[in-house]
Each structure stands twice: as C-alpha cells, then as structure tokens.
Structure 1
C-alpha cells in the first residue's frame, strides 16, 4: 500500500494553498484533490511563460493548459529522471547520468541525447543543455528521413521520380516537410494514383469501343466542333422545317427588315453579338445548311471547323449539309456523349493522356510508398530527439508553472512575478504591479467588474505605433482623484521595454481606506465649488444680458440747439419688495449660526482633554460610514474574475486584502536619507489676513472659555 503523502499548506489571499517544495510533492499532485488547486486551466498566450513549453504541455492543442495536462507532463518528466527533485531546480540542463534508462523510452531519449552531442562535436560531454537544442528543428530537417512521413521533391535525385512527384503536387497539392520544403504524404500519393487508375480505366473503355471513337484519335476534336454549333444548327433546321410547314413563316423566321434596320447604324463585324443572334442562313422550306457561302458571318469560323473536323471525315468534302446528314451526325455522337457523361472527375487530366499513361506504366507509386515508409520508420527516433528538448524544457519550467497554477505562491509571496503579471504601469505618481494583458477590453471589463478592483484599461504602443497591446492595471493604493480616461503613463513589460500607455476605460471601485476617509469632505468641497461656479456663471450671464439690453436701446437723435434730455431717475428702493428675501437670508444665517453656536458651545462645555476626542468623534461620525463600506469592499476584492475574463479557470477566491493590495501599488516616496529643501522661489505668496483672522478667533475663543469658568475664574453675571 502506497503511504499517504504529507502535504504542507500556507495561507495567503484568505485561503489555504498547497506548498510544493520538492519532486515528491510534484509527483504526488495526482493524488491531491483538485478542489484544492487554485487554477484548473490557463491560456497558452498572453502570460509571461515560454510559449513553446506551454504548447508541449497542451496535448490537445486547444490553446489552454488543463490540470490533467499538467499532471501528465509531471509524470512524463518524472519518469525520465532518476531523481524527481531535479524538476524543482529550474535548470535548463541535465546530466546524461540523471536520465533514467530503465524504460524503453528512457533508453531512446538517452541515446538521442548522446547522438545530438556527438553530432555537435561533443561526444564526451556529460550533460546536455537547452542551448544545445537551439537548432533542433534545423538538425531534424537536415536528416535524410525525419519521421514526418513527407517526401519533398527537392530531395529526390532520380529525375523521373522527381518529375512525377512534382506533377502529383501540381494536381493534388502538397504538405510541408519539417525542412520547410513542399512534398507528398501517403494520403496525397494514394489519392492521386487511385484517381489516375479510375480515369485510365474510363479512357481504356472509350478507346476500345469503335462506336465511341468512330473517328479514332480525331473523335474528340470532331466532338468539340460538333458541340460548338449543335444548338445553332438545330435551330436552323427547325426554322426550315417550320417554313416547310407554312411558307409564310419563312420571312419572319429569317428576321424582319426592322431587325436589320436596328443594326444598320452600328459598326458591324463578325464578332457582333447582335449578328450572332440571327439564324445561320436565310430560312427556306427544307433548305440545306450552306457550309461555304451564304452563312451568318458571326458563325463562319465555327462552321468551317465543323466542316473540316466532323463533316469531311464522315461524308467527305461538302459545301452543303442536309438535315438527314445532320441527324446522322447526331446519332453517331450519341455513344460518345454517353461515354463522356460517365467521365470521372480527375485533377490529373491536366497532365494529358500520354503523361498519365507514362505514370501508370512506371513504378513510381511503389517508389514513393517506399520513401514514405522509410521516413515513417524513423519517427520514434526523431520523436526521441524532440523528447530531449521536451525533457529539458519541463525540467526548467514545470516547477514555476505549478507555483502559478496549483498554487499562486509566486504571486502571494512576492518573491517572483506571477505568470499573469505582464509588467509595471507608472502613472499618477504610482507604480501598479498587477497588470494583466487584455485582448478585448469590452469583453474583459464586463466580467472583471465583479472583482471589486479599481481597474484602469490602457492602450499601449511602442515604436511609433507599430506594436500595440492592451492591459488592465489594478490600482490598490492611493486615491482616484486624478485617474481619468485620457491620462498617459509609461508601461514597462517584463523584458524592460517601455510602452506609451493611455487610459481608455476605468472600472471604478474603492481603492483605499484613506480615500474613503476624505471622500465626504472632498464631495462637500466639490459641491460647494460647483455651486459657487454656477452662481458666478449665472451672475456673469445676467450682467451680460443687461449690457446687451442696454446696447440694444436706440439713442434718440439730438436736435442742434436743443437742451439735453433730463437724466433718467432711478426708481426708489422698494423695501417691501425685498422684505421676503431679507427675511429668508436672515433665517438661513440664523439657523447656520445656531448650529455653529450649539456645536461650539457643546465642545467648549467639555473638559480640556475631552475636546480632541470630541473633534475626532465628529470626524469619525462623518467619515466612518464611508470607511466601513470601503473596508468591506476592499476585503472582498477578488483576483479570480480578472483572470477568468482572460481565459483562466480560477478555482479559488483569490482575495486581495488591504495590506496585500497596498504592496501591489507603490506610492511615490523620497529615497531614504534624502535632503529636502522647502524653499520654493516660485511659491505663491500667501495672504496675511487669514493669520489675523486666526489670531482674532483664538482670542475670542479664549475669552469665551474664560467666561465659562474653564480657567477657574467665576463666570460673568
């Protein structure tokens, strides 16, 4: 009985995650309940991981790596190494002595590694590295047989066989060999020769039947000339039969004078389509078809071909064709047409009968089959060569993948960047380390909005816009006062390349407790500022209207010698009219003053040590609700929807709490030990009157406190 594996778990992100430290942990993953895995699937693109390794793991090539494929990769690599702890080293080299040759596959991999080193001129090397496999595809392509079952024409020395392969590719297409050259595989080869065999059988049947090939090799040419005019000749003889039926039909069936007048104004030629629509010749009762003169010029060329290729071989040289002779010709072609209707579809027909007969008589099919079989025979050896590269990649990358798949150890410990972290965004005095690549912003935002994270979607470009990508950056510290669509920043990818980043969309959520604390005051300040701006704007508009109205009043003409008009007297101030306004203002000021007086008197009525507590309590009363709501929202921030929207299958609620979120977004801070000068030569000069007001306020407050007996003096009676 296999002993149970003892697992270690660490808690991060609000849930338990498996801790994988050694090869035994990796091999035991197949027995770990997948409900404890953080992810069950991840995409093969859009993450910071070697794409070739991901493609090797992605066995079904669906652009996603699934849990079972990860387990299969671990089992395969672990079975080829004598010590499974080598899988956690992260090294891209392996000693030949560490390859387990106890299995047949292990023997092939070891032999392939030794063969590669020998080919590279290092027969005595004790280890092989991924650098040795840098040109593995070129190495495989350079082999005479590379195991892909494709025979390129360029590698065939026999000229006749090479020509046949080229003809096959011309007719049936080709596939690419590992070498990059076009060639044939078994499917194309079999299809071509099967097609040729069927077509040849059909051709032999026609050649052997005298009724079909009644003119021998010239039958096809005669048939082509016959079919080119058959419909038109049938039309002519039918018209003549109609004229024989009723002589009155001869004239209209030959086309009327008006029809000729309709084309009379045109520049006529034998290619004119209007002329071609006229009968082959003038219609008369039972009239033969003239073959030399009296023909419609648009059909003269086709009738000449009919006379030369069809009529002359059957009836001899004739200048007219009787209706009965035409009927005989039609009968003769019945067998040929029936044979033609049974003609199989054959792409090789374009090569011609002689070439097809030559290919059929040759032994080229057997030769090509032999080459394909010899190529396939080394498939296992070539696969073993590729398996060496696969083993090296798995040895280097599997441990890193598992710590970003089974658990998010890299992300939550901060020792390494997670696979989905594609870089750092610098914007608004902050650096955001949680940035994921996004292909479709609208689609991603629709689901990622449930994460509770403040996400800024940015379009990033570099090299003058020739390279573009989009990212979603999470802001998890600071505030959002100056984060808005259109703001620019710089994004550094994991390679250190800089991109111009512009915010194009924002998912607005709480960022920090500090932002929530100041939000009521900022909202009040914004409200007051907006109201003052509206009031100022309305006053300015009213003033402008008065000026425009005054300018619109016409000035009366001045009569020479007349006294100036008396000045217009202003209407007296109507106290009653404004009494209501003054009363309302007085009530408002009285209410505000009463509230402030009650507040101040309440605070001043406290003991000296109680006053700061009262002020703090008042501020908490104002900011507390917003802070509590923000606290609950920040605790619920979840990374899962952000990754799920990118094609991951996140299996856990990967929380981003307040302390961890603060570590993902760094605020600007002066370096430790920096010296700071506060002397700003361009600082705005502050007015003096606020200080005087402050001093006066302190004096008044001290007087009030003294009168209340706070300093021990009796209150004033």
Structure 2
C-alpha cells in the first residue's frame, strides 16, 4: 500500500496532493512540507470541534503545524486496526476497529465496554459502538462523582459530615480549586496550606498565652487588660512624641517660642463657625502647651480632643507601668520611653498575627480540628481521587480518537491541499458562513481578529473585501464576530460602509451584518472597463458642483449687498434741475445686471459657436468618433482590469488571517462564481415575461434587451474603430513610443 504512487491533482495550475481516503493519509508522510498548501494555521481559523484542536495543538501556541498534524494521524493509526471509517467522517467508534494487540487501544476498548455495560446493563458484544456524544456524557457524569481522577474533592462529594465541614472550611480559607464537576474543592496543596495556617495560628496564640499561675508576661504586661492599655498608648503616642519634641525645641530661645506660638493669621483663616474645621485644627494642635521643663502636666490644659485618652493614661496605664500610686499627674520623657518599651513585645506579637479563621475558630477547637484525625482522612480521599485518574484519561483518549476519526481527513485537506475550494458541495474549514448582501450570496468569509493587522495584507490580494461586523442575540447574551468577505463576481453596486445584510453561519444561525470598511478592487472586466467613465463622471460632477456652487454663492452675496445698499441709501433732493444720470457703478445693482447680460451674451455666443460647429460636422462622423474613443478607452481599461483580476489571490487573504501558505490560489471564473453568486430562482418557479421587450420603468434591461444593446454598442464601436483606424493606430504609436 505504501509503495503506491502519490497522486497530485492539477486544479487549474494549482498542483495539490489528493487526499480522499485513509490510504492517502498514510502516504501523507512522503509529501515534503514545501509541497503542502499550508504549513501553519491559527486554531481560531479552523471551524471544527474546539476539543479536537486542543488535542492536536500539543505545544498550546494557538497554531496547528505540519508535524502536529502528522503526529495526530500517527496516534490515531496506532490505535485503529480498521481505518476505513476515516473516509466516512464519522465520530462513532466501532470497538472491533480498535487494535487489541496495542496496549493503549486494548485499554480504550475495555473502558468503552465497561461504560456501555454500566449504561445499558448488557455486555458489549460484536459490532458494539460508542459515539462521541456517549463518550462525553460518560465523562461529564464521571466528573460529577468522587473519585473522578482530578485529585480534587468538593464538599458536596463527601458523605461524612465532619470531613465535608472541614473541606468547606478549607475552601473558605484558601479559595479552593475547581473540581471537574465545576464545584470548588480541596486538593493536597490546599489541605497543606490550611494546616500551615492553622498551626501558625496556634503557635501565635501559644506565644501570647500566660503560663500557669502567672498574671502577666513580657508579651502581656497588663495580663488580660494589655490590649486595652496598649490601645490608649497607641492613640496618644503621636501626640506625646510631638509634645516632648516641641518642649526640646523651646530650649533654642525666643525664636523657637515665637515659631510654636499660634499665629493670628492661622486663626484668621479658620472658619470658627464650622465644627469640622475646628476639629481639624485641634487634631493638628499640640496635646498640651509645651514648656522648657519638658514635663507633661496632666492636670493642666489638655487638647479637648484627647482629654479622655489622657485621663485613661493617667489613671489606668501610668501607675502600673511606672510602679507609682495612681493617678499619675506628671509624665517626663524618661517615663514615656519606659511606657513605650513596656508595650514593645506586645506590639511585635500583634504584628505577627495570622489571618483569623472563619467563625472565630481558635484555641482548643482549632487545635482539635488540626491535630485530630479529620485532616488525614480528607487527605486519603484526595489521594484516592488521584488514583482514579486513569479512567478519566481513558475517556479523554476515547474522545480524542472519535474526534480524529471524524476530522483528520478534513484537517489534512485544509493544510496539505484544498479540494473543497473547487467543490460546490463542500466547504473549507476557514469559511465561516454565507453573507447575504446586495442581492448576492458571498461565501468567501473569514474570521478577523485584528482588522488593523489584517487590512494591509488583504489589500495586496487584489480582491474586493468588505469588513463586516456580525451580531446575534442569544438569550440575555449578545454574541459578536468580525469577518472579511471577499466579493468575487458581479460589480460593487451598493456595497459600501454602512450597508446592512444578513449572515448565516455554518450551523444555519442568523446574524445581523453591517459593513464597516471596504477594500475597493475590480470585481469584473465590465466594472474595470467602465471605471474611467465612472471616475470621469464623478470628477465632472464634483468640479461642476464646486464651480457653480461658488459662483452662485458669490452672485447671491453681491446681489444681496447691492439691494441692501440701494434700500438703505436716502435719496437727496436736487437743488437744481437734475443733470443726466451718470452710469451706475460697476459694483452696484445696475453693474450686476449689466454683468449678467454680458455673461448671458457670452454663453449665447458660445452656444451658437458650438451649434454652428456641430452643424458643420456629419452626425455619423461625430457618433463614430465618440464611439471609437470610448471603445479604445474601455478596451485598454478592461485589459488592465483583466490583468488585475487574474492576480486576485485567495491565499493572500488567508495569510492576512495568520495562515502560512506555500501556494498561490488565484481566482478564476469557477472560483469567482463559487464564492459570490446570485442564487437562481427556486425550483419550479415560473418567470412571467416582461411587459416591454427592452426596458420596464424602474427595472434593468431584460435579457433580450441586454443582448440587443450590447450588439448595437459593439457594432458601433467596431464601425468607429474601422473608420478611424489610421487615427487610432497613430495615437497608439504615439502613446507607446
């Protein structure tokens, strides 16, 4: 079989290896990559099962390359004894097709039989099959149970109430990890992280605990009241540091005293009617008035915002901290440093406090949970789940086998060769769907991820491209997609930015479509031949609009100004008999009328000259001359358009979407009509004849009328060309040197 010759088909100059059977796939290895049509393709461009693409894209770089496709076929071939069903493109696996002599295939066969028996209750006999849908149903049901092979146990999968509570607690503390069922669960890493957090909490609590019979410790100098005393000290710490520093500053003399004094201007800026402004001012003010002695008198004036804390410091903290009878009324810098140092170990201990457990779990309850049997029992469940992974992997391999059996031929035909391009019955995997726009069905539609990157490359394809935004409502969600549609036959007609249509994807679902951008290129020879006249028409219309528009605006302005001057000016009473009226100024109303008369006279003279000239020319000669010139222009423009049309390249459009191509796929007539067409009337339809043989108001010419009109124009052009053959030959020689 492998010695059979490789067969290459010639698709109008495109030589491609033909792949139509499993035998052709087996010989695919002998085709060098340089002979492949495409050697690399982005996965988002292949419209097939997404799971299949994940299986083939082994390096997960988002692209399918030559070796990855060959490896996928080798994997499939190693497990299938009978490969004939590949050509049938079926995702149903016949168990008898699996090669029992191959260990992996035997394992898959045994697993499939097991799942079939578990579902139907009967043993899988000869001819038994399992479909892709069945495989996925087995796997999805398997994933919802424990053990399911992912090494993760969700609380809902645990029957024991205590272990389920522990698992839920771990998920709450650590965030958990997603189980195949979709629920959050616990794996060994999360279990170990929780135990580490719990033991850290217990160790922290032990460090701050009082020893038996002791009322205080270094960490708890006030025993159970340490937290409240430390809170008072912390609230006053900043203000006390400020007070003693300002006392030290007073020793620098009168200048320092002046700086520390409250300035009238600072009080002047204070809004004394705003309580919030006053509170802010007092919050920044000193705790007490600094003195050269550097001693805080707690019986003297104290900042009103800190009076309560100062009283608690005097009564509750200082007596015990300084070993004096309370309340303490005086505090010097040494006493303050002693107080701060006394609470240093407590603050250091508090800074190491771990995160609190849910439900204030701590102390003996936390210790019983951490050190009890529950964590190891939960670990055993996790390890049991990990050991069951072999069956889950087997189900994934069965899915991969069914997908490859269904799609491997299509994938090969969209990389090694592209026979579907030349078939009206098949579609390439890059064809997103059909765009119905401007009365045509456009099938050359490709996904576009980044239009800014796609467009510069697409412009070199010489294909007329319409970029279309697609939108579809599905329930509460709105799906969007962007495609590039190549218009390959007919004319542009009304296709432009803002044009709306409808799009049908490969599943027949309907999308709203709107053109957002176009790349304008010739679509047909007729359009190319008429292009110069279209441009001439647009140029003439534009120039005439600008010329007559500006002239009309100037004339209207001049006339308006003259009328205003005439109406506003007051007539003067003549002192003597009126002299003959002088000629009106050139800029007045009269000047305008005179100028208009001269203009009409000039136009009339020009018209008379034109009529006299036309009268002196034979009408037939004039028609032949005009027809000859038009025919020559159309011929050259059509010829240049034909050259461009022959260079329209579908592969360049695909390269703009990320494909890597070795060949050029030029659009010929058969491909042009395959990608863009006007659909025929439904079968059995009756077309009524037109009322008039040539034209009907508001409609295009009837087929007979088109033939007659084309014949008349062709005859006129041929006659003009023959009549002026010498002039045309001379002009062509001058044009081309």
Q: TM-score, normalised by structure 1?
A: 0.77
- Aligned counterpart, 2:6: 7
CA shift, 1:150, in A, is 1.5
- Aligned counterpart, 2:306: 299
Whether the aligned pair in 1 keeps the contact of 2:176 and 2:186 (CA below 8 Å) is yes
Which stretch has the larger CA shift, 91-100 or 192-201?
A: 192-201
- Aligned counterpart, 1:713: none
CA shift, 1:331, in A, is 3.2
In structure 2, relative to structure 1, the CA distance for the partners of 1:221 and 1:453 (3 Å cut) is same
Structure 2 Cα separation of the partners of residues 97 and 484 of structure 1: 57
Cα offsets for 1:46-80 (capped at 9, x unmatched)? 55322232233333333333333322322222222
- Aligned counterpart, 1:708: none
Which of 652, 661, 667 is residue 672 of structure 2 equivalent to?
Answer: 661
- Aligned counterpart, 2:235: 228
- Aligned counterpart, 1:105: 104
Is residue 277 from structure 1 mapped to residue 276 from structure 2 by the alignment?
Answer: no
Is residue 492 from structure 1 mapped to residue 504 from structure 2 by the alignment?
Answer: yes
CA shift, 1:128, in A, is 0.9
Cα offsets for 1:539-566 (capped at 9, x unmatched)? 9889978986996795999x9xxxxx99
Which stretch has the larger CA shift, 585-594 or 229-238?
A: 585-594
- Aligned counterpart, 1:412: 422
In structure 2, relative to structure 1, the CA distance for the partners of 1:683 and 1:276 (3 Å cut) is closer
What is the 5 A alignment of 1:456-467? 456-463=466-473, 466-467=478-479
- Aligned counterpart, 2:195: 193
In structure 2, relative to structure 1, the CA distance for the partners of 1:270 and 1:411 (3 Å cut) is closer
Whether the aligned pair in 1 keeps the contact of 2:208 and 2:349 (CA below 8 Å) is yes
In structure 2, relative to structure 1, the CA distance for the partners of 1:213 and 1:532 (3 Å cut) is closer
In structure 2, relative to structure 1, the CA distance for the partners of 1:346 and 1:65 (3 Å cut) is farther
Which of 627, 632, 638 is residue 643 of structure 2 equivalent to?
Answer: 632
Structure 2 Cα separation of the partners of residues 197 and 642 of structure 1: 62
Structure 2 Cα separation of the partners of residues 292 and 396 of structure 1: 93
Which of 132, 135, 153 is residue 151 of structure 1 equivalent to?
Answer: 153
Structure 2 Cα separation of the partners of residues 327 and 498 of structure 1: 79
Which of 644, 656, 660 is residue 655 of structure 2 equivalent to?
Answer: 644
Whether the aligned pair in 2 keeps the contact of 1:292 and 1:319 (CA below 8 Å) is no
Specify every segment of 5 or more residues in structure 2 that has no aligned partner in the other structure, as ranges.
212-216, 574-579, 584-589, 700-711, 724-737
- Aligned counterpart, 1:117: 116
Whether the aligned pair in 1 keeps the contact of 2:529 and 2:641 (CA below 8 Å) is no
In structure 2, relative to structure 1, the CA distance for the partners of 1:634 and 1:298 (3 Å cut) is same
Whether the aligned pair in 2 keeps the contact of 1:151 and 1:372 (CA below 8 Å) is yes
- Aligned counterpart, 2:339: 329
What is the 5 A alignment of 1:302-381? 302-303=309-310, 306=313, 310-311=317-318, 313-314=320-321, 315=323, 318-320=326-328, 322-323=331-332, 324-337=334-347, 343=352, 352=362, 356-381=366-391
Aligned residues: 668
Which of 138, 141, 144 is residue 140 of structure 2 equivalent to?
Answer: 138
In structure 2, relative to structure 1, the CA distance for the partners of 1:29 and 1:317 (3 Å cut) is farther
Structure 2 Cα separation of the partners of residues 317 and 271 of structure 1: 36
In structure 2, relative to structure 1, the CA distance for the partners of 1:675 and 1:265 (3 Å cut) is closer
Cα offsets for 1:160-195 (capped at 9, x unmatched)? 444443333333222111112112223333334345
Whether the aligned pair in 1 keeps the contact of 2:243 and 2:288 (CA below 8 Å) is yes
Is residue 478 from structure 1 mapped to residue 498 from structure 2 by the alignment?
Answer: no
Whether the aligned pair in 2 keeps the contact of 1:41 and 1:64 (CA below 8 Å) is yes
Is residue 127 from structure 1 mapped to residue 129 from structure 2 by the alignment?
Answer: yes
Whether the aligned pair in 2 keeps the contact of 1:635 and 1:658 (CA below 8 Å) is no
Whether the aligned pair in 1 keeps the contact of 2:45 and 2:429 (CA below 8 Å) is no
In structure 2, relative to structure 1, the CA distance for the partners of 1:76 and 1:254 (3 Å cut) is same
Specify every segment of 5 or more residues in structure 1 that has no aligned partner in the other structure, as ranges.
560-564, 604-614, 686-693, 706-717
Whether the aligned pair in 1 keeps the contact of 2:271 and 2:278 (CA below 8 Å) is no
CA shift, 1:599, in A, is 9.6
Whether the aligned pair in 1 keeps the contact of 2:200 and 2:354 (CA below 8 Å) is no
CA shift, 1:240, in A, is 5.7
- Aligned counterpart, 1:168: 170
